[in-house]
Amino acid sequence: MKRVHVYLILICLPILASLNSCQREPQKSVPLNQLTIDYFQFKNGSEWIYELVSDTNVRERVIASDFTSGKNRFDEVEISFFKYNLVSDKNFTIMVRAESGMKDPVDQVAFITKDSFLSYGPILWSDASGVTVGGTDTFRYDESVRIGGLEFNKVIRIGFANHPVYKNISMSKELGIVQKQYRNGKTFRLRQYKIIR
């Protein structure tokens, strides 16, 4: 009987050792770039009210909801992410998803529509060179921009080549989208906001 226990232990030890080795800690953890957080991270309850440029009586209300953040593991690398929905009272939702890149310090940000499987308009952030955009999307940075009589600082303007909803958006650091032009040609600008960080 003792011999059977010894054999079972000898047989089980390599199996247990191999199972334990599969649960290794990641060798590298990649945090999100602070710029990504400053420009794109808005928590539940953040709210923006926009007016249509051509008719200031037309308003759009957008609320951030379903915020989640965490870490995902790919092989030996652990990446950080956050995502949330921008829910418009005009009956559409855009998911904003940001994740740290496998190669630090490049992050990816995408504005994803309900009907799209792919991430439209990835924006790649790099500590070394500022901001770049993927594919045929365009990017411009302005230290200060005046929109509808309001002054906004540290504004990035992103032109989307293939996004199904947005043609371009202007985002101010820690405020979010301050102006947006839809594919249908309508342009909305920010009038009021409540930010939850």
Q: Specify the pLDDT at position 158.
A: 87
Q: Specify the pLDDT at position 34.
A: 87
DSSP 121: S
Task: Please state, for a pLDDT cut of 90, what percent of the chain lies above it.
Answer: 46
What is the DSSP track for 30-88?
EPPPHHHHHHH---TT-EEEEEETTEEEEEEEEEEEEEEEEEEEETTEEEEEEEEEEEE
1 part of a folded domain: no
Residues 146, 55, 57, 193, CA torsion sign = negative
Q: Specify the pLDDT at position 112.
A: 85
19 part of a folded domain: no
Query: pLDDT digits over 85-135, tens only?
Result: 999 999 889 999 998 877 655 788 888 887 654 444 456 655 444 566 666
15 part of a folded domain: no
Confidence of residue 38 (pLDDT cuts 50, 70, 90): very high
93 part of a folded domain: yes
169 part of a folded domain: yes
Q: Specify the pLDDT at position 123.
A: 63
Q: Specify the pLDDT at position 6.
A: 44
Burial of 50: CB neighbours in 10 Å, binned 0-12, 13-18, 19+: buried
Over residues 178-183, the mean pLDDT reads 94
152 part of a folded domain: yes
Query: pLDDT digits over 134-150, tens only?
Result: 666 788 889 999 999 99
3 pLDDT above the threshold of 70? no
C-alpha span between 64 and 118 (Å, rounded): 21
* Residue range(s) defining the domain that contains residue 34: 25-194
C-alpha span between 195 and 191 (Å, rounded): 13
Q: Specify the pLDDT at position 26.
A: 53
Amino acid at 37: I
The domain tally of the chain equals: 1
99 part of a folded domain: yes
Closest CA to 96 of 169, 151, 153, 161: 169
176 part of a folded domain: yes
Query: Which residues partner with 193 through β-bridges?
Result: 48
